[in-house]
A and B are shown apart, each in its own frame.
Chain A
């Protein structure tokens, strides 16, 4: 399938998305309902972390180092006596932010690049396409690791690195969508009515670019969450003592035999949210795009 036809399909799919029946059809699938509930719970927990966390996530307690789950510490404590449940709840924040901001960065940059590339054509288009080709030739996580390494370790830099690493997919999608929309009849009509190129680009093309980009965004959030956990696991993301699921797993690795609960729960949390986002993404595509049904 060519990029343009894929973009047309996505644009059509997104068009269907705006009708209420698509949402209703999505919610008729039990798997999608469960996935929506998990994603909703994740957002609520992340936003309301101060309210939900039973204890201070960074308060150390050397009298309770690596304690197994108990009534006081429901999911046990870590290597310096911090409450695992509280860290897990606060860690959801890092994951939520790291899932959303890189995707927001990628969408924001890809829209003007896609517009310019799809509209201007010629050498500008060639240049942008060669750049995205080159970026796509380097595996996603390697781009993120290399960038985070050269930028310096921090959650902010990790998000920038992940955002840049996801950028080429969005630029190609945005460009493909522009090329597809350009040939639509309503654009020809706008041109026939004497609309200026900039008016057509911003008034007609831009609003119709957004839906396919939004669908791609929902799928990329899951990848970004895993990427943040991976970078934090390597020490290139969230810095201690601030909690992140990835850095919790990094610490847990050293105490596997003595404190397996330290490794179990952060991983389950990542697994659950990523499965939910993937099921939701699959469900959306199935409902919106008949070619993917099943």
Chain B
């Protein structure tokens, strides 16, 4: 199967999924109690004014028509405007996305640096204290409530030791050093969770490859153990881990809600929470929709990477 055919097949599934996602997100606003026109009118109770709002926002139309108008605008890149700030939601999303991407990249780097070596050690030295420590680290990373870990890190590194700022964000083009110091703690918080997942998958994949015939052959040819582990076993074990990495990256882009809130990082997550508290539903819908789209696209990227690095998949199909 060619890469093009593979991607085409996946996109055929992806489009209806995103279509249903958009319907679900549109339906969310139907859950809101009360008449949205009245809410938009605020103090204004003049029936003519309320009716004007109803016509302006197409609230007088049947729900499927309202959906059609809404999705049509979104496809054209118009996500509506924030009811609070009157800024177009598209601009808000565009300004927050780079911050969240930077946070996700830093978190992923930490996750890879901790997770993969820990997984290799746990697989190659079973029963040793090192393996036990790696296992405990993975379990803790998976179980700790991230928002609490964030609070504890602020308490220790910012309040007690005063080494790092407790919260806030400085863009990298203003001051790279301060940017990294503001992004370090939240990246550690998010990175530890992903490191746990990475470690477990690396450990599982390494155990499988270490038991494979080609590893036994390499050992029989008296290849050094270091070369066996790094060149033969790890290279093949990394194939599923790469896919997982892409999926986890998608999760990081949208899953940093509480971490961004705690560290006051002005990214996607904080935009979502602020939208929730301001009852700014256009913003909430925009964030959820874009998060879902990014997540789906990164899943696709994970599959493509898996396809590219796995020669068996290419030749067999």
**Which A residues lie within 8 Å of B41 (CB)?**
none
**Which B residues lie within 8 Å of A263 (CB)?**
148, 151-152, 155
Query: What mask results when residues 104 to 129 of chain A are scored 1 for a CB within 8 Å of chain B, else 0?
Result: 00000000000000000000000000
- The verdict on A271 contacting B18 (CB below 8 Å), with A146-B288, A252-B151, A260-B155 known, is no
**Cβ–Cβ contact B139 & A279, under 8 A:** yes
Number of interface residues of B (CB under 8 A): 50
**Cβ–Cβ contact B18 & A226, under 8 A:** no
**Which A residues lie within 8 Å of B117 (CB)?**
none
Query: What mask results when residues 249 to 274 of chain A are scored 1 for a CB within 8 Å of chain B, else 0?
Result: 10011001100100110110011001
**Cβ–Cβ contact B295 & A138, under 8 A:** yes
**Per a CB cutoff under 8 Å, which of B21, B33, B145, B148 touches A137?**
B21
**Residue B17 CB within 8 A of the other chain:** yes
Distance of A152 Cα from B32 Cα, bound (Å): 8
**Cβ–Cβ contact B147 & A249, under 8 A:** yes
Question: In the assembled complex, how far is the CB of residue A227 from the closest CB belonging to chain B, in whole angstroms?
Answer: 10
Nearest residue in B to A292 (C-beta to C-beta)?
B204
**Which B residues lie within 8 Å of A266 (CB)?**
148
**Cβ–Cβ contact B288 & A130, under 8 A:** no
**Cβ–Cβ contact A133 & B20, under 8 A:** yes
Distance of A264 Cα from B166 Cα, bound (Å): 17
Distance of A16 Cα from B143 Cα, bound (Å): 27
Distance of A278 Cα from B196 Cα, bound (Å): 13
- The verdict on A267 contacting B272 (CB below 8 Å), with A145-B257, A150-B32, A152-B33 known, is no
**Residue A142 CB within 8 A of the other chain:** yes
Nearest residue in A to B299 (C-beta to C-beta)?
A137
Question: In the assembled complex, how far is the CB of residue B159 from the closest CB belonging to chain A, in whole angstroms?
Answer: 5
Question: In the assembled complex, how far is the CB of residue A77 from the closest CB belonging to chain B, in whole angstroms?
Answer: 18
**Which B residues lie within 8 Å of A236 (CB)?**
276
Distance of A274 Cα from B16 Cα, bound (Å): 36
**Residue B201 CB within 8 A of the other chain:** no
**Cβ–Cβ contact A146 & B28, under 8 A:** yes
Nearest residue in A to B122 (C-beta to C-beta)?
A294
CB contact list, B98-148 vs A, under 8 A? 126, 139-140, 142-145, 147-148
**Residue B92 CB within 8 A of the other chain:** no
Distance of A260 Cα from B151 Cα, bound (Å): 10
Distance of A275 Cα from B16 Cα, bound (Å): 38
Question: In the assembled complex, how far is the CB of residue A40 from the closest CB belonging to chain B, in whole angstroms?
Answer: 18
**Cβ–Cβ contact A278 & B258, under 8 A:** no
**Cβ–Cβ contact B21 & A150, under 8 A:** no
CB contact list, A23-82 vs B, under 8 A? none
CB contact list, A151-210 vs B, under 8 A? 151-152
**Which A residues lie within 8 Å of B152 (CB)?**
263-264, 267
Of residues A130, A139, A236, which shows the largest number of chain B Cβ atoms within 10 Å of its Cβ? Answer: A139
**Which A residues lie within 8 Å of B295 (CB)?**
137-139
CB contact list, B248-274 vs A, under 8 A? 251, 254-255, 257-258, 261-262, 272-273
**Which B residues lie within 8 Å of A145 (CB)?**
257, 272-273, 276
Distance of A239 Cα from B159 Cα, bound (Å): 29
**Cβ–Cβ contact A139 & B144, under 8 A:** no
**Residue B243 CB within 8 A of the other chain:** no
**Residue A17 CB within 8 A of the other chain:** no
Question: In the assembled complex, how far is the CB of residue B251 from the closest CB belonging to chain A, in whole angstroms?
Answer: 6
**Residue B187 CB within 8 A of the other chain:** no
Question: In the assembled complex, how far is the CB of residue B7 from the closest CB belonging to chain A, in whole angstroms?
Answer: 18
**Residue B154 CB within 8 A of the other chain:** yes
**Which B residues lie within 8 Å of A130 (CB)?**
16-17, 20
Query: What mask results when residues 216 to 259 of chain A are scored 1 for a CB within 8 Å of chain B, else 0?
Result: 00000010001001100111100000000000010011001100
**Cβ–Cβ contact B142 & A278, under 8 A:** yes
**Which B residues lie within 8 Å of A133 (CB)?**
13, 17, 20
**Residue B223 CB within 8 A of the other chain:** no
17 pairs from A and B in contact (CB 8 Å cutoff): A135-B24, A138-B21, A138-B254, A138-B292, A141-B257, A145-B272, A230-B145, A233-B147, A249-B151, A256-B151, A256-B159, A267-B148, A271-B148, A274-B145, A278-B142, A278-B143, A294-B126
Closest 4 CB pairs of A and B: A267-B148, A134-B20, A149-B276, A275-B143
Binding site for B on A (CB under 8 A): 130-131, 133-135, 137-139, 141-142, 145-147, 149-152, 222, 226, 229-230, 233-236, 249, 252-253, 256-257, 260, 263-264, 266-267, 270-271, 274-275, 278-279, 294
Extra contacts besides A137-B18, A137-B296, A230-B257 (14): CB < 8 Å? A133-B17, A138-B24, A139-B254, A142-B287, A146-B288, A147-B28, A150-B284, A152-B33, A230-B147, A263-B148, A271-B145, A271-B148, A274-B145, A275-B140
